[in-house]
Structure 1
């Protein structure tokens, strides 16, 4: 055995013990996070503006960095749609339930679910107020559903990222209620209405406002809206319901867009409350005149 002296740090050329990943104790690594300087394996590192950062530092950075805002004050999203496909799914599910009950794709209005949820002004005025909302998820046959959902997806694709999920949902349901309120207040007392058309036209109205604000060409959207409204004169579709939807959806979105940056949320809430009061007033005022009406 040699009596040669051994350096205190170990034999010359020896490697110090390799550190292990802060998140995986079984993974030796010589890489480190440029932010916290902790050892990290390749799976735990992400590209950063300077060097590599561990996932913990990346997540912490996301929480502390202020995200960009859209024109109405919503957080800038990645463009992924959430509310639009959910609304489409709810409408499709409701339609399939009526088809299952009626046994028909095109005469599903004979189902018990349809009959219990369609907007019948007289029944709604006499206590069945849920019809004001549920009728927006009923459709007269397959083509009625396909047309509404197709337009909803196209318009929602452009509007939802700009308004954000919450504001988009608010505009959707206010337009649905606004369309039904217009048909209820100004339409025939024995007309039975169903469909998401009021909400869909409301999103189209929102699209007009959003694109106008972004200085995009709105001529195509205007033509589509006008053609659909004019076509109502030659079909059984509710012109009043469509008009009510596009007016309410457009005006509420305009109020959101025009709200001053200071106290923006307060102004937007006030616009939503005003729309609800107007819509509720239209239902309440006309309901009294329908109490004793009987439709044959």
Structure 2
């Protein structure tokens, strides 16, 4: 029996991950986001104005500060949330969508798609946006997972209308709130395209093709950050004056 088990190839998903019902990364990410929120609430003494906490101010993304070398903000801002409702909405979508995507991509590929989608949202808002908007939230990464799920379900010939409607409603609602439309779109595009590259990679040398797609996405985002930072550095005096207006305190 043991010999028989060794001779049978394990079942694989569309991207080459071993089929498994265990979901680990998704709940771990939810726990990290909730813990980060709890710390900001403790520091600020408010569940709604937790953005006043020292941790929040040190880790949310201010484009001018990021351009001046505080690059960690591009990642850490993805674990900060403006109040309980913002956190609850993102974690609810992460819980529902993350489980499906993690089972299809496997833990490693899922983690890569999540964090590059997070960076995609930050890079998009940083490159195309203004210097005044403070950015925080897992929305870029969550939208990236929705883009990934859209690609996976399309490839599996499943009904994608629900995903399209949910994404559409969320994007339209951005026009009437302070949410970063650019951040959401950036995450969605990176997550969708990266998953598409993983799905379409040929079986022969599949891992090599997928690694190439990941490297290409990382380079693209790095170039976007570098170009925008160079632009802001050129206009340093103007940017600092705008920043003082944005953050008078």
- Normalised-by-shorter TM-score class: over 0.9
Number of aligned pairs?
Answer: 238
Matched position secondary structure for 2:19? coil
Select the residue among 6, 14, 28 that pairs with 1:86: 28
Q: Unpaired runs of 5+ in structure 1?
A: 1-34, 36-56
Gaps (5+ residues) in structure 2?
A: 245-249
- Aligned equivalent of 1:234: 176
Deviation per residue, 1:73-121 (Å, 9 max, x gap): 00111x1210100111110111101011001111000000000000011
Q: Does residue 212 in structure 1 map to residue 154 in structure 2?
A: yes
Q: Report deviation, 1:288.
A: 1.3
Look up the match of 1:69: 12
Higher relative contact order (CA 8 A, sep 6+): 2
Q: Give 1:61 shift.
A: 5.8
In the alignment, is residue 225 of structure 1 matched against residue 167 of structure 2?
A: yes
Corresponding residue number in structure 2 for 1:97: 39
Whole-Å separation in 2 of the counterparts to 1:68 and 1:169: 21
- Whole-angstrom distance in 2 between the partners of 1:228 and 1:178: 17
After TM superposition, what 4+ stretches of structure 1 lie above 3 angstroms from structure 2? Answer: 60-65
**CA distance in 2: counterparts of 1:67 and 1:156, whole angstroms:** 23
Alignment of 1:242-257 (within 5 A): 242-257=184-199
For the aligned residues, what is the CA RMSD?
A: 1.1
Greater radius of gyration (CA): 1
Please give the residue correspondences for 1:22-37 in structure 2 after superposition, counting only pairs within 5 Å.
none
Measure, in 2, the Cα distance between the counterparts of 1:62 and 1:107.
56
Q: How does 1:1-16 map to 2 (within 5 A)?
A: none
Match of 2:137?
195
> Which residue in the other structure is 1:149 paired with?
91
Q: 2 CA distance for matches of 1:239 and 1:61?
A: 53
Choose which of 79, 90, 93 in structure 2 pairs with 1:137.
79
Higher percent of residues as helix? 2
TM-score by length of 2: 0.93
2:238 is the alignment partner of 1:284:
no
